[in-house]
Amino acid sequence: MSLIAEFQTHDVRFPTSLLLDGSDAMNPDPDYSAAYLRIATDAGDGLEGHGFVFTIGRGNDVEVAAIQALAPYVLGRNAEELLADLGGVWRELQHDSQLRWLGPEKGVMHMAIGAVVNALWDLRAKREGKPLWRLLGELSPEELVDLVDFRYLSDALTRDEALAILRDAEPGRAARIARLEAEGYPAYTTTPGWLGYSDEKLARLSREAVAEGFAQIKLKVGASLDDDVRRLGIAREAVGPGIRIAVDANQRWDVAEAIDWMRRLARFDIAWIEEPTNPDDVLGHAAIARGIAPIPVATGEHGANRVMFKQFLQAGALQVLQIDYSRVAGVNENIAILLLAAKFGVPVCPHAGGVGLCEAVQHLAMFDFIAVSGTTDDRMIEFVDHLHEHFTAPVDVHDGRYWPPAAPGAGTEMHAGSIAQYEFRVTDA
Amino acid sequence: MSLIAEFQTHDVRFPTSLLLDGSDAMNPDPDYSAAYLRIATDAGDGLEGHGFVFTIGRGNDVEVAAIQALAPYVLGRNAEELLADLGGVWRELQHDSQLRWLGPEKGVMHMAIGAVVNALWDLRAKREGKPLWRLLGELSPEELVDLVDFRYLSDALTRDEALAILRDAEPGRAARIARLEAEGYPAYTTTPGWLGYSDEKLARLSREAVAEGFAQIKLKVGASLDDDVRRLGIAREAVGPGIRIAVDANQRWDVAEAIDWMRRLARFDIAWIEEPTNPDDVLGHAAIARGIAPIPVATGEHGANRVMFKQFLQAGALQVLQIDYSRVAGVNENIAILLLAAKFGVPVCPHAGGVGLCEAVQHLAMFDFIAVSGTTDDRMIEFVDHLHEHFTAPVDVHDGRYWPPAAPGAGTEMHAGSIAQYEFRVTDA
């Protein structure tokens, strides 16, 4: 028996705004940051659990405070009991009535719960000596549904329906693991498309993306229609007709504006329009999807919780579902969302980039392939080539694909030296 | 010219869980709390601005940290400029791209922005020597729409439509102010109906509510159907057939369960069912409303922002809209929500209780009557007789009505002695 003996938070911020990496129509100058958590036990095995919330700078200290407020729920408790019942841990944190008031189930406190839950998953995967994708992909359907809280989902997905989805996929798991290891998981790249880049840089990076084997690139749009038309022309010429080009408006538009704008861009053969408007606007996204069909609508990186995803699916408001590692309350809630997507037959293409999001979310996409949807058709994980060097198990992306990580854990452990170097102090502001 | 010279936060918690005041199906043991902000200028006039976020205990420290993170946006700035352009202040705080990532526009950071905005409104009202309801009720339609951010609303309400609503109501303002001062604003009481109270206490408090002139009481439901049937029978017998009884499930149910449960309670002549399910579930509320018509669905105290309220109205998912003083980003966003409700012809019955919510939200309901909806028909403000003594301008509720406060300000100033007495320190936990 061991106890959770350390619960240490860090405010880590990278000064990415200096290079305009990550600039888009709503986020002109992000400083990619992590409200970071490290937990350790007294087992003496050297294994730790790491988790984080990705933010883009100011307010990262508030997110750290929220994670710190959860220390009493974990510190001093029996590690084996916690790790054996991560569904129970999730419910305990989520249904603490006093903490729940701060959302409910959204925003700073919800993401903080995600960091704690994800740190525990990282520790569990390390103890079992497996990467998280394999750990999850080897749990039984019953164990998986026990991780999910079906409250508020039953009008769209019951526990029994989820079990049936998982059981249907079970016979093919071993074959899909073999295929994953042989072929990797499809990726697409956003590296060429940041708004702050020059036309020349856009063209060069678009050509490089094709040369590197990516079948899709993504461009930020929404600040200026003339600029978008010019940049899409440059990108389409650079990549040729066979490569998919998605666009991302980062919530810039109202409903009618989104429809008008996208009709003007349709001639460039758009793979999807991402975040056309406010991420809470289920009905608005549904109206946009009807207005610009057959261009698919993609959203989810700011999807606050499983109840919002349920409604987007019920309303036909998205055709591409983009889970995020740290927006919802951790692995458990993302499993609920993957099951909802499978129920509605909608492909999941995870949001990544930022700091550590690629390392983390690949595990969930690979798990989805192995044990939930059973396919990679129309699915791919976002890739941005930033800040991977700060992680102990950086992603392996080549030939346009993510290659399944072998290192035990959830991919969320940052080098201690990086944490120390980029730890933010109030005097830095 | 004066500068904002002080920005002081307090973690204030009242140990209400000891008496089961405020107990309901989701919140068994709330400790009513305020993440509290006091701002002061160097003007030497002794006027301060006070605002707060209401929470129910744990996590109040996180909310305080979020408010504190906003100090750099206010401290040291020109007070006259800020107070003259509170629409601009709202946009500046809301559209800070880095802070926005923490929601967007929901949860801990969104409510913190509300506390800052509301403290500035309190200061402005004190400087103008008016209670907030009168200050707002005397602004021109143009000044009012300038306070509102119509981004993401234009598919339901444009600036021009909002202007037309306000201009229609303008000629009757003076007469309605006179009527408000002569007749007060209707109230209802939740005091009898907390789940933790005995049957005897429920019956006694129900009779007392009628004797005190309230035309509606509200009972908490959702923990046990048998208990709810028994308690509604007791309450209906105590108040007689002429008094309205609303019920509140505090998000306890899934969609089908809500419909089944409410059909079992319909024979008690239910005025509304409040928060039947998760507050993010627009489509779920719409399905419940269809399933239990003509019983109205009420919700809003956990409505995260104006985009959520827009959708509830578009979908017919609520028939009674319950604004809350501190859930959204302050007075400005609540004005947007009042305008949306007026556009859709839905009555607003504010959520109150907690600590300070009655004192604060009455100003918005009275403003709605004077300048927006122009009516009190089907409208009333919740009243719970808790903790009013801690405020410098406690509500005046008698004869079943709120009487318009005369004291300058927004009603949000707590006695310094109360703050000192109930200031929470980590060692109290």
Nearest neighbour of B58 by CB, restricted to A63, A96, A305: A96
Contact: A55, B97; criterion CB under 8 Å = no
In chain A, what residues touch B251 (CB-CB under 8 Å)? 104
Contact: B281, A108; criterion CB under 8 Å = no
Report domain extents, chain A. Answer: 4-130, 170-416
- CATH architecture, range A170-416: Alpha-Beta Barrel (3.20)
pLDDT in tens, A351-403: 999 999 999 999 999 999 999 999 999 999 999 999 999 999 999 999 999 99
CA–CA dist B155, B152 (Å, integer): 7
Name the β-bridge partners of A39.
Answer: A7, A49
pLDDT bin (cut points 50, 70, 90) of residue B20 is low
pLDDT bin (cut points 50, 70, 90) of residue A29 is confident
Name the β-bridge partners of A312.
Answer: none
Contact of A97 with chain B, judged by CB distance below 8 Å, is answered with yes
DSSP string of B146-214, one letter each residue: HT---TTTTTT--HHHHHHHHHHHGGGHHHHHHHHHHH-EEEEEEEEE-TTS-HHHHHHHHHHHHHTT-
pLDDT > 70 in chain A, percent: 98
Mean pLDDT of B228-236: 97
pLDDT in tens, A166-184: 999 999 999 999 999 999 9
Q: Are A268 and A238 in contact (CB under 8 A)?
A: no
CA–CA dist B169, A44 (Å, integer): 72
Mean pLDDT of B273-297: 98
With the C-alpha atoms ordered B99, B100, B104, B107, is the resulting torsion angle positive or negative? Answer: positive
Instruction: Determine how many CB atoms are found less than 10 A away from the CB of residue B18.
Output: 9
Mean pLDDT is lowest, of A34-48, A249-263, B17-31, B67-81, for B17-31
Residue B351 catalytic? Answer: yes
Domains A4-130 and A170-416 share a fold: no
Contact: A307, B281; criterion CB under 8 Å = yes
> Where is B262: in which H helix or E strand?
helix B255-265
CA–CA dist A242, A245 (Å, integer): 10
Nearest CA in chain A to B24: A97
> Taking each helix axis from N to C terminus, what angle separates A306-314 and A330-344, rounded to the nearest 10 degrees?
10
Determine the pLDDT at residue B94. 94
**Mean pLDDT comparison of A23-32, A126-135, B8-17, B195-204, highest-scoring range:** A126-135
Determine the pLDDT at residue B424. 94
Q: How close is the nearest chain A Cα to the Cα of B357, in Å? A: 15
Residues of A designated as active site: 220, 351
Q: How close is the nearest chain A Cα to the Cα of B4, in Å? A: 20
pLDDT bin (cut points 50, 70, 90) of residue B428 is low
Q: How close is the nearest chain B Cα to the Cα of A179, in Å? A: 37
Residue B51 main-chain phi, psi, to 5 deg: -150, 165
With a cut of 80, say whether residue B25 has pLDDT above it: no
pLDDT in tens, B42-87: 999 999 999 999 999 999 999 999 999 999 999 999 999 999 999 9
B257-B30-B39 Cα angle (round to 5): 125
Mutate to test the interface with B, among A99, A280, A307, A428 (most CBs of B within 10 A): A280
Residue range A4-130 forms a domain whose CATH class is: alpha beta
Mean pLDDT, chain A, integer? 96
Instruction: Determine how many CB atoms are found less than 10 A away from the CB of residue B307.
Output: 24
- What is the three-class DSSP state of B338? helix
Determine the pLDDT at residue A123. 98
Instruction: Determine how many CB atoms are found less than 10 A away from the CB of residue A383.
Output: 27
Name the β-bridge partners of B401.
Answer: B186, B398
Contact of A72 with chain B, judged by CB distance below 8 Å, is answered with yes
CA–CA dist A179, A174 (Å, integer): 9
Q: Are A111 and A169 in contact (CB under 8 A)?
A: no
Contact: A106, B107; criterion CB under 8 Å = yes
Contact of B206 with chain A, judged by CB distance below 8 Å, is answered with no
Tokens of B121: 């409104």
Contact of A326 with chain B, judged by CB distance below 8 Å, is answered with no
Residue A4 main-chain phi, psi, to 5 deg: -70, 115
Contact of A57 with chain B, judged by CB distance below 8 Å, is answered with yes
CA–CA dist B152, B211 (Å, integer): 46
Q: Are A122 and A41 in contact (CB under 8 A)?
A: no
Tokens of B91: 């946009």
Contact of A75 with chain B, judged by CB distance below 8 Å, is answered with no
With a cut of 90, say whether residue B371 has pLDDT above it: yes
In chain A, what residues touch B59 (CB-CB under 8 Å)? 66, 69, 98-99, 101-102, 109
Contact of A281 with chain B, judged by CB distance below 8 Å, is answered with yes
Nearest CA in chain B to A72: B429
With a cut of 80, say whether residue A148 has pLDDT above it: yes
Helices and strands (H, E) in chain B, number of each type: 17, 12
Name the β-bridge partners of B398.
Answer: B401
pLDDT bin (cut points 50, 70, 90) of residue B195 is confident
Q: How close is the nearest chain B Cα to the Cα of A340, in Å? A: 15
Nearest neighbour of A108 by CB, restricted to B107, B254, B278: B107
Q: How close is the nearest chain A Cα to the Cα of B122, in Å? A: 23
Q: Which amino acid is at B21?
A: D
CA–CA dist B379, B320 (Å, integer): 9
Contact: B283, A282; criterion CB under 8 Å = yes
Determine the pLDDT at residue B413. 98
pLDDT bin (cut points 50, 70, 90) of residue B426 is low
With a cut of 70, say whether residue B104 has pLDDT above it: yes
In chain A, what residues touch B105 (CB-CB under 8 Å)? 278, 280
B411: left (phi over 0), alpha (psi -120 to 50) or beta: left
pLDDT bin (cut points 50, 70, 90) of residue B21 is low
Determine the pLDDT at residue A20. 63
Contact of A158 with chain B, judged by CB distance below 8 Å, is answered with no
Nearest CA in chain B to A312: B283
In chain B, what residues touch A69 (CB-CB under 8 Å)? 58-59, 61-62
Mean pLDDT, chain B, integer? 96
pLDDT > 90 in chain B, percent: 93
pLDDT bin (cut points 50, 70, 90) of residue B17 is confident
Contact: A155, B287; criterion CB under 8 Å = yes
Determine the pLDDT at residue B429. 52
> Where is B13: in which H helix or E strand?
strand B4-13
> Taking each helix axis from N to C terminus, what angle separates B282-292 and A282-292, rounded to the nearest 10 degrees?
100
In chain A, what residues touch B65 (CB-CB under 8 Å)? 61-62, 65-66
Determine the pLDDT at residue B22. 66
